[in-house]
Amino acid sequence: MARGTHPTSLANLSVPQLRYGEPKRQRNISITDTGWQNLKELAQEHEISLADMLERIARKDLKIVS
């Protein structure tokens, strides 16, 4: 390892694995502040990112029951 090179810096250079076999693309949605906060809290409860939670819901891998 070169002098002054941090190991995690090298890890960030690797090509990320495609979790679902295709690259994600940035999307835009309109949602109220309350709805956004509730989504963030729900994702935290499941210990996943908000983006991953929405992906799982869209793929019917995660169901929301009220």
Q: Which domain holds residue 47?
A: 32-66
What number of other Cβ atoms are within 10 A of residue 10's Cβ? 11
pLDDT digits (tens, 9 = 90+) for 44-62: 999 999 999 999 999 999 8
Q: How many domains does the chain have?
A: 1
Nearest to 36 by CA among 20, 54, 48: 54
- Give a yes or no: residue 23 inside a domain: no
Is the pTM value of this prediction over 0.85?
Answer: no
- Give a yes or no: residue 15 inside a domain: no
pLDDT of residue 8: 72
- Give a yes or no: residue 42 inside a domain: yes
- Give a yes or no: residue 40 inside a domain: yes
- Give a yes or no: residue 48 inside a domain: yes
Taking the CA atoms of 63, 58, 20 and 41 in sequence, report the sign of the dihedral they define.
negative
